[in-house]
């Protein structure tokens, strides 16, 4: 996820049609666990260790509902010793704000993706354009050697990273005036991107005009044609109702976007070892469940968004990769991320 959902700005929205019946049922009635900022107020007050977890995901996103379930399980298994309080929808600030708070110790936990690049450049290596063909390669890398390397780098700057990442999905391009079939269609195309150098460089190298816009202002920017299009996972395209101001979706899958779960390292080490083990086990389980939820949601969203009026196409990826190679994109980011991290990336993706 990028710098999404400033406080009070996230549009009300459905994540998908599945959310209303099948998804909530699959969560075992998770709607009853969405306690808007607290696992359970009385339990939280009685707990010895009260830990706050901030996220930009909206309250009905699997990245919130599954963590809420984990919080309930953690409280139960520790006999109320640990209360993990969940704050969705950027209630505690923007993603950059929460990331800074977690590094300083003002916040105990948070999840994010791109903003961490400002502290650990290789923290966004998972988002190298057109790197991962599918989830099999994503999870082999991020649960394996590449993820271990990046987590170690964050450990050097005061952050503990949980072993399993959350899935934010593959990002796709939407547009209002014409479909995107290949790199030529991006020339001069004003596309909204998060304020992340990796995104900006990618679209610049493809000839587009990347324009950073806060997510809370994106709907209006598309509506007024400040930008011609944007790129996001399908779940966010649907939940923010961007189908109302866009006509086309190109299933480019150009970036795989995932969230690390961060903890302040000093705070983490201050917890008893057995409490850390319980927290790790349940947050890892929540991440694995959330990944399956996202796949299920995305499988249903093409039909949902088609009914809402969007037209889909699936461009061939090699021309985009060729354009980026010719522009020196991969060479540039190999230098930025470092030889060790890049070698690990290509172990899972093949030569870029």
Asked whether 249 and 306 are in contact (CB, 8 A), the reply is no
**For residue range 175-213, what is the model confidence (pLDDT) as tens digits?**
999 999 999 999 999 999 987 889 999 999 999 999 988
Residue 15: the pLDDT is: 34
Cα 30–Cα 304–Cα 65 angle in degrees, nearest 5: 15
d(CA 191, CA 175): 8
Residue 43: the pLDDT is: 55
Higher pLDDT: 173 or 44? It is 173
Residue 16: the pLDDT is: 34
Question: pTM of the prediction?
Answer: 0.84
**For residue range 124-168, what is the model confidence (pLDDT) as tens digits?**
999 999 999 999 999 999 999 999 999 999 999 999 999 999 999
319 C-beta neighbours (distance < 10 Å), count: 14
Residue 255: the pLDDT is: 96
d(CA 222, CA 217): 9
Residue 115: the pLDDT is: 64
Residue 195: the pLDDT is: 77
CA-wise closest residue to 197 among 255, 256, 121, 257: 121
Residue 12: the pLDDT is: 31
d(CA 265, CA 108): 9
In this prediction, what percent of the chain has a pLDDT beyond 90? 75
Q: How confident is the model at residue 217 (pLDDT cuts 50, 70, 90)?
A: confident
d(CA 231, CA 255): 9
Q: Output the six-digit token pair for 95.
A: 């993603």
CATH 3.40.190.170 fits 17-349, yes or no: yes
Q: How confident is the model at residue 37 (pLDDT cuts 50, 70, 90)?
A: very low
Q: Is the pLDDT of residue 230 over 70?
A: yes
Rounded to whole angstroms, what are the CA distances from 51 to 34, 122, 173, 276, 337? 16, 28, 37, 12, 32
**For residue range 62-90, what is the model confidence (pLDDT) as tens digits?**
999 999 999 999 999 999 999 999 999 88
Domain ranges of the chain: 17-349
234 C-beta neighbours (distance < 10 Å), count: 27
Residue 226: the pLDDT is: 97
User: What is the DSSP code (8-state) at residue 233?
Assistant: -
């Amino acid at each position: 996820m990028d710098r999404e959902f400033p406080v009070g700005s996230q549009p009300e929205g459905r994540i998908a049609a599945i959310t209303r019946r099948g998804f909530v049922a699959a969560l075992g009635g998770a709607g009853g666990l969405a306690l808007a900022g607290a696992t359970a107020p009385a339990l939280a007050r009685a707990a010895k260790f009260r830990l706050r977890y901030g996220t930009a995901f909206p309250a009905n996103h699997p990245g919130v509902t599954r963590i809420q379930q984990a919080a309930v399980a953690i409280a139960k298994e520790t006999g109320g010793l640990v209360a993990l309080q969940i704050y969705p929808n950027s209630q505690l600030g923007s993603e950059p704000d929460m990331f800074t708070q977690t590094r300083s110790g003002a916040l105990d936990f948070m999840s994010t993706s791109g903003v961490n690049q400002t502290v650990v450049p290789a923290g966004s290596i998972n988002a190298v354009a057109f790197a991962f063909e599918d989830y099999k390669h994503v999870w082999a890398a991020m649960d394996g050697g590449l993820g271990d390397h990046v987590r170690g780098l964050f450990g050097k700057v005061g952050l503990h990273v949980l072993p399993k990442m959350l899935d934010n999905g593959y990002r796709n391009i939407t547009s209002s005036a014409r479909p995107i079939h290949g790199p030529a269609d991006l020339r001069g195309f004003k596309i909204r991107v998060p304020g992340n150098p990796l995104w900006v460089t990618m679209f610049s190298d493809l000839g587009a005009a990347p324009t950073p816009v806060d997510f809370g202002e994106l709907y209006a920017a598309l509506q007024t044609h400040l930008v011609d299009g944007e790129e996001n996972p399908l779940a966010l395209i649907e939940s923010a109702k961007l189908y109302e101001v866009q006509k086309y979706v190109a299933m480019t899958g150009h970036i795989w976007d995932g969230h690390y779960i961060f903890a302040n390292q000093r705070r983490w080490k201050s917890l008893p070892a057995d409490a850390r083990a319980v927290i790790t086990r349940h947050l890892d389980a929540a991440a694995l469940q959330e990944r399956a939820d996202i796949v299920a949601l995305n499988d249903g969203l093409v039909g949902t968004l088609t009914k809402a009026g969007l037209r889909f196409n699936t461009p061939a990826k090699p021309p985009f990769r060729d354009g980026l190679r010719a522009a020196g994109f991969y060479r540039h980011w190999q230098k930025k991320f470092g030889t060790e991290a890049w070698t690990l990336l290509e172990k899972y993706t093949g030569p870029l």
